[in-house]
Amino acid sequence: MHLAYLMGFEISSFCSIAPKEEDSMLFHYPATRFLKVFEEAYGIPLLLLEGSGDEMEDLRNLLSECKSEGIEYVVSGALASDYQRIRYSIVAEELGLKTLNPLWRKDQKEYMKWLIEGGFEYIIVKISSFGLPFDLLGKTITYEDTLRIISLAEKYGFNPAFEGGEAETLVLDAPLMKKRLEVEGERRIEGNYVAYYDIRNIKLVEKRKIR
């Protein structure tokens, strides 16, 4: 979304699915119950549909709703996943919508560094990969953390940008956000390589003004 805005597109709404299955390969699952908070954080409406379990049909219903609102382009954050990008493109083309994937095939290590350098703050809310330490859960990821993740990805072979579902994230602050998020929660370990940051509460706070 950020890059689409910089390219001159008008961002009219967010569109998302709250998936039925926890292990969805197409939609983000953790913390979806808090997604509506981003409406106020960005000042942009959110179109959120409950998933049925048929992800292609869910995507079709979601993009149909988007089209009915006058949306012409669907912007995705697909970076390296053909599974996601192709499915978005297929459904969008069926409905006569255009797709934009501004991150596609970007260098994943540089992308992770760019997030921090570009003013994005985020936490990891789920880990499901060997080699990713649980102490990163719920922690605002710094540039040093990013270098650590990249180093561990090289050592253990997981995707440094989590494109294989190795981890899920939640954005706390971004350049286009009018307010930032503060979260409260705790770590919950479910297995040797699987753990969550169980969010109990999210509140919006004013951003510090730069003088």
Per-residue pLDDT of the chain (211 residues; tens, 9 = 90+): 888 998 999 999 988 888 777 666 667 666 778 888 999 999 999 888 888 888 889 889 999 998 998 999 999 888 887 888 888 899 999 999 999 999 988 999 999 999 999 999 999 999 999 999 999 999 999 999 999 999 999 999 999 999 888 999 999 999 999 999 999 999 999 999 999 999 999 999 999 765 5
pLDDT at 178: 95
Which pLDDT belongs to residue 80?
A: 82
Complete domains list, the chain, with CATH: 1-106 (3.40.50.620), 107-211 (3.90.1490.10)
What crossing angle do the helices spanning 143-156 and 108-117 adopt, rounded to 10°? 170
pLDDT of 24 reads 67
Contacts of 136 (CB under 8 A, 6+ apart): 124, 127, 145, 149
Instruction: Decide if 167 contacts 116 (C-beta within 8 A).
Output: no
Position 182, amino acid:
E
Contacts of 6 (CB under 8 A, 6+ apart): none
pTM: 0.89
- Tracing tokens 């297929």 back to the chain, one arrives at 90
- Does the CA dihedral 83-63-3-210 come out positive or negative? negative
Q: What is the CA radius of gyration of the chain?
A: 17
